Amino acid sequence: MTALIDLASHLAGDPSSPAVKTVVTEIAAACARISRVVAGGAILGNLGAAGITNVQDEEQKKLDILTNDLLSDALKACEPVAGIASEELEHVETTGRHGGYLVTFDPLDGSSNIDVNVSVGTIFSILPAPEGREPTEADFLQPGRHQVGAGYAVYGPQTMLVLTLTSGVVGFTLSADDRWLLTHAKSTIPADTAEFAINMSNQRHWAAPIRRYVDGCLQGKEGPRAKNFNMRWVASMVADVHRILMRGGIFMYPWDAREPTKPGKLRLMYEANPMALIVERAGGKATDGVTPILDLAPSKLHQRVPVVLGSANEVDEVARETVAG
Ligand code: AHG
Ligand code: MN
Ligand code: MN
CATH number of the domain residue 31 falls in: 3.30.540.10
Is the pLDDT at 169 greater than 70? The verdict is yes
109 among the known binding-site residues?
Answer: yes
DSSP 8-class letter at 85 = E
108 among the known binding-site residues?
Answer: yes
Mean pLDDT, range 255-277, rounded to an integer: 97
CA of 110 to the centre of ligand 2 (A): 6
Atom of ligand 1 nearest to the CA of 87: 3
- Banded pLDDT at 232 (limits 50, 70, 90): very high
280 among the known binding-site residues?
Answer: no
Q: Strand, coil or helix: what is 149?
A: strand
Is the pLDDT at 121 greater than 70? The verdict is yes
Return the exposure string of 285-294: e unless at least 16 CB atoms fall within 10 Å of the residue's CB, then b.
bbbbbeebbb
Mean pLDDT, range 298-319, rounded to an integer: 98
**Same domain as 303, residue 209:** yes
Ligand nearest to the CA of 58: 1
At 1 the pLDDT is 64
How many other β-carbons are positioned within 10 Å of the β-carbon of residue 299?
8
Final residue of a structural domain among 184, 215, 232? 184
CA of 266 to the centre of ligand 1 (A): 7
315 touches 261 (CB < 8 A): no
Is the pLDDT at 8 greater than 80? The verdict is yes
Mean pLDDT, range 118-129, rounded to an integer: 98
At 134 the pLDDT is 97
The residue nearest atom 3 of ligand 1, judged by CA position, is: 109
- Banded pLDDT at 57 (limits 50, 70, 90): confident
Is the pLDDT at 48 greater than 90? The verdict is no
**Same domain as 39, residue 107:** yes
Closest CA to 17 of 148, 211, 171: 148
119 touches 110 (CB < 8 A): yes
How much is the mean pLDDT over the chain? 96
Cα 277-71-269 angle, rounded to 5 deg:
35
Weakest-pLDDT range from 41-50, 138-147, 170-179, 216-225: 41-50
**Same domain as 204, residue 166:** no
Is the pLDDT at 2 greater than 90? The verdict is no
**Same domain as 117, residue 67:** yes
Atom of ligand 1 nearest to the CA of 251: 11
Length of the chain: 325
Q: Does 190 fall in a domain? A: no
**Same domain as 161, residue 106:** yes
322: left (phi over 0), alpha (psi -120 to 50) or beta: alpha
CA of 109 to the centre of ligand 2 (A): 4
**Same domain as 310, residue 226:** yes
Q: Does 159 fall in a domain? A: yes
Q: Which domain holds residue 12?
A: 7-184
Measured distance CA(95)–CA(259) in Å, rounded: 36
- Number of domains the chain is built from: 2
What would the pLDDT profile of 238-260 be if each residue is shown by its tens digit?
999 999 999 999 999 999 999 99
Q: Does 170 fall in a domain? A: yes
295 among the known binding-site residues?
Answer: no
Ligand 1 pocket residues where CB is under 6 Å:
58, 87, 106, 109-112, 199, 235-237, 253, 265
